[in-house]
Each structure stands twice: as structure tokens, then as C-alpha cells.
């Protein structure tokens, strides 16, 4: 499992368990900011980009009353869980780009992109 997602999923769950939904939303947004930079790279697989964009638009805690209610009841971020699954799919494909192998850690990929730009 990827520490990028594991730590954020755990942090969001802790915030939601203590009733601090706004902090959980902040955790999601920090991940979204990194992931959006990664998926915007032209070598990122287009089908997984679409999946990530869809997950972000539908499953962010603050995207709809239903998403917020789901997070409050389940005490977890559906978005972070879905993105975790998407990046596992990415790693399984073993996609090699101009800056190396795409792994399941968005922070690592973003660092690779920046180093090779």
C-alpha cells in the first residue's frame, strides 16, 4: 500500500471520527492539488486521468450533500479510497515515461516530473 494514500486516508478518518469535517476536506484538497498536477502530464494514461477526474468531481466530501453525509456516516473519505485504487491500477500497468516508471505514489511522480522538466 502507498503511504501517500494510507496516511491521508487515516488522517481524514481521524478528523471525521472527531466531527472535524472541515479538516478532512483540507486533507482531501491537499491530495487533489498534487494529483491534479500529476494527471495533467500528457504521459499519464488518459483513462486513469478520466477516472481520477470523475472521482474528484463526484466523491469529494464537499462536492454534494450526499458525499458529505456519506463521509460523516462512514467516517472515511470515499475520494481518497477511490484515488488510492486508481493509483494502484497505474502501478500495476508499469507505465514507463520520459521521467521513469509511474508508481502508485503521486508525490513521487510529481517530484519526477519537476526534476525532469
Angle at the Cα of 100 from the Cα atoms of 94 and 106, rounded to 5 degrees? 75
Residue 71 CB-density burial (10 A; 0-12 exposed, 13-18 middle, 19+ buried): buried
Q: Alpha helix (H) ranges present in 1-117?
A: 3-17, 21-39, 46-59, 65-74, 78-93, 106-115
Distance CA 79, CA 13 (A): 12
The model's pTM is 0.93
Band the pLDDT of 5: cuts 50, 70, 90. very high
Q: Considering its fold, how many domains does the chain have in total? A: 1
pLDDT at 2 over 80: no
Residue 42's domain spans which residues?
Answer: 3-115
Give the pLDDT confidence of 42-95 residue by residue, as tens digits.
999 999 999 999 999 999 999 999 999 999 999 999 999 999 999 999 999 999
Amino acid at each position: 500500500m502507498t503511504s501517500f494514500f494510507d496516511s491521508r486516508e487515516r488522517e481524514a478518518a481521524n478528523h471525521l471520527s472527531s466531527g472535524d469535517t472541515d479538516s478532512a476536506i483540507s486533507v482531501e484538497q491537499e491530495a487533489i492539488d498534487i494529483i491534479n498536477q500529476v494527471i495533467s502530464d500528457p504521459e499519464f494514461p488518459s483513462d486513469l486521468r478520466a477516472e481520477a477526474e470523475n472521482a474528484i468531481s463526484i466523491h469529494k466530501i464537499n462536492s454534494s450533500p450526499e458525499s458529505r453525509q456519506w463521509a460523516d456516516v462512514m467516517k472515511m473519505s470515499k475520494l481518497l479510497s477511490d484515488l488510492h485504487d486508481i493509483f494502484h491500477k497505474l502501478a500495476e500497468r508499469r507505465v514507463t515515461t520520459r521521467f521513469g516508471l509511474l508508481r502508485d505514489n503521486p508525490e513521487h511522480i510529481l517530484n519526477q516530473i519537476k526534476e525532469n522538466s
